[in-house]
Amino acid sequence: MPRYALKVEYHGAPFAGWQRQTDQPSVQGAIEAALDRLEPGRHTIAAAGRTDAGVHGLAQVAHCDMAKDWDPFRLSEALNWHLKPAPVAIIDCAPVPDDWHARFSAIERRYLFRLMVRRAPLTHEAGLMWRVGHSLDGAAMQAGADRLIGRHDFTTFRSSICQADSPVKTLDALRVEQIDRPDGTEFRFHVRARSFLHNQVRSFVGTLERVGAGAWTPEDVTKALVARDRAACGPVCPPEGLYLAGVGYPVDPFTRTGA
């Protein structure tokens, strides 16, 4: 059975998350239903990572097995046709070896979190970023973020329902970008690691927001980290500002050769 890698973009607001649900809409369920329209039968796709309700995807990666050989472009076009009107799009498709796996072959995940500082409610970008009404110190947030980079026991920043075998992870990057806009100040948190714990990024951002607001110091972030206690974490920020921004593989399956 030919296997295909799918690069998926989606707006997370209407969904209960990536993972298939029995009684609620999910991104996985929407794609599997579209696959069923192309080749009737039960389809099960696997993704590089599961996103929670309200979390968005810029470049989620999944794979599917098909009964017949499809031209990748035609497969993506057909899936996009049957995905309408759900806010899900296949933005790239590529054939991959039978042993290639969207999750287990991945060596890196990248997340983006968008936070907007302004008093007025969001309109055009409502549901796409977290709005706070008070000023934030970007340099202080970066100083706090620097305390988290490296290999640590991240129990403090791990959901109580996290199913990972170990809380020890290596955080490769956590960069705070400040963008001054006419309508306010946007902060973008760029986070990169091989894998993440449940709610880890949202726990990071919620804690760093407290640093930016002056309620915590960067040293308080270190204290929270070494406490290895969920109760030491800052508030967990809402999901609507979080995006799965990319997935890295030893060889990018979407790179076209000979072009």
Based on the residue annotation, tell me whether 52 is a catalytic residue of this protein: yes
**Hunting for tokens 């809409």 — which residue is that?**
25
Domain boundaries, the chain: 3-105, 108-245
CA-CA-CA-CA torsion sign (183, 143, 247, 196): negative
User: Residues 34-67: pLDDT tens digits?
Assistant: 999 999 988 999 999 999 999 999 999 999 999 9
Q: Which residues contact 28 (CB under 8 A, 6 or more apart)?
A: 18, 19, 20, 45, 47, 62
Inform me whether the pLDDT recorded for 85 exceeds 60: yes
Report the chain's mean pLDDT, rounded to a whole number: 96
pLDDT of residue 256: 67
Catalytic residue among 52, 92, 137, 172: 52
Predicted TM-score of the model (pTM): 0.95
State the pLDDT confidence band at 163, using cuts at 50, 70 and 90. Answer: confident
pLDDT value, residue 258: 40
Same fold, 3-105 and 108-245: yes
- Pick the range with the lowest mean pLDDT from 85-89, 128-132, 157-161: 157-161
**With 90 as the cut, is the pLDDT of residue 257 above it?**
no
CATH level 3 topology of 108-245: Alpha-Beta Plaits (3.30.70)
Mean pLDDT of 119-140: 97
Mean pLDDT (whole number) for 184-208 = 97
Q: What's the topology of domain 3-105?
A: Alpha-Beta Plaits (3.30.70)
**What is the pLDDT averaged over residues 200-221?**
98
pLDDT at 12: 97
